[in-house]
Amino acid sequence: MTPPAVVVDGVSLKYRLYKERNDSLKTALLRRRRSVHEDFLALDDISFEVPVGSTFGLIGQNGAGKSTLLKCLARILYPDSGSITANGRVASLLEVGSGFHPELSGRENIFLNGSILGMSKKDLTRKFDDIVDFSGVRKFIDQPVKNYSSGMYVRLGFSIAINVEPDILVVDEILSVGDAAFKKKCATKFEELKQAGKTVIMVTHSMGSLKSMCDQAAWINHGKLVTMGDAPTVIAAYEKSVGESA
């Protein structure tokens, strides 16, 4: 049997929420005590598997823990307990401009961001035109990216990520920044990745995108896994719950 693309096993992660803070060393010494805080359990013992070659959606309301889980998948955050095993090369696109240096040009950032994602200079040079053409920012490729719109940031970042040729692509809500034409290109690319046996894990609040693109989904609520399975069933359960609580 083919092993899963990703195995999430008992993952928990908590943040500290400070009720007040010590703004300076002097303040801390005068108070003679630590800042008062409480622990917030962002992820609570979550376990599931992502099949190879699936387009897998994480759904849930704001603050449910979806983006936190994606950051764990991308190894930006590390869980306090449990483990995440990825069987293959992972590329992620989680925030607008992540991995970009604002003072550098688009051309320079392709080589910077690509190297961060594990591509060699030789590979980046070979794929440079493909990256630029997909992003649609050739006219501005030698301009500092600080002058780019958020949509241009996303298009260039996504284009770099897919040209890494990942086995697993992790994408957050930021694709909603793109225009209709770019969303269509992304949907086509996701289908190409799926046909090539690659895995896409995505977070989006667009139920239309989830229904049209995802074949598997997991519903997270207040850091807990509610259910997972085929996307239509999970989405229907989530929409029913949201409708009942409205």
pLDDT of res. 26:
59
pLDDT in tens, 186-205: 888 888 888 999 999 999 88
**Could you give the CA distance from residue 33 to residue 51 in angstroms, rounded to a whole number?**
49
Does any domain span residue 211? yes
Q: Specify if 94 maps to a domain.
A: no
Task: Assess whether 82 and 16 both reside in one domain.
Answer: yes
CA separation for the pair 16, 4 (Å, rounded): 33
Q: CA 43, CA 15: separation in Å to the nearest integer? A: 10
Looking at the fold, whether 153 and 194 belong to one and the same domain comes out as no
Query: Which CATH number fits the domain that encloses residue 70?
Result: 3.40.50.300
**pLDDT value, residue 5:** 95
Would you state the pLDDT for residue 1?
72
Q: Both 233 and 128 in a single domain?
A: no
In a domain, 1, yes or no: no
Examine the domain organization and report whether 84 and 110 are in the same domain: no
Residue 10 lies in a domain: yes
SS3 96: coil
* Average confidence (pLDDT) over 86-90: 91
Integer Cα distance of 137 and 237 in angstroms: 40
Contacts of 13 (CB under 8 A, 6+ apart): 41, 42, 43, 68, 72, 77, 78, 79, 80
38 inside domain: yes
Q: What is the pLDDT of residues 121-131, one digit of tens each?
A: 999 999 999 99
Q: Give the DSSP per-residue string, 229-245.
A: EEHHHHHHHHHHHHHHH
Kindly state whether residues 104 and 201 are assigned to the same domain.
no
Span 26-37, average pLDDT = 60
10 and 67 inside one domain: yes
Please name which of 96, 91, 66 lies closest in space to residue 198, comparing C-alpha atoms: 91
Residue 194 and residue 72 share a domain: yes
Count of C-beta atoms within a 10 Å radius of residue 102:
12
Tell me the whole-structure pTM to 2 decimals: 0.83
Residue 93 in any domain: the answer is no
pLDDT bucket at 6, cuts 50 / 70 / 90:
very high
146 with 106, same domain: the answer is yes
Q: Do residues 141 and 61 touch, judged by C-beta distance below 8 A? A: no
Residue 191 near residue 207 (C-beta atoms within 8 A): no
Domain contains 118: yes
Does 20 share its domain with 38?
Answer: yes
Encode pLDDT of 151-183 as tens digits. Answer: 898 889 889 988 888 899 998 876 666 677 887
Number of independent structural domains in the chain:
2
Residue 11 has pLDDT above 90, yes or no: yes
Range of the domain at 187: 6-88+167-245
Question: In this predicted structure, what is the pLDDT of residue 122?
Answer: 93
Residue that terminates a domain, selected from 165, 190, 218: 165
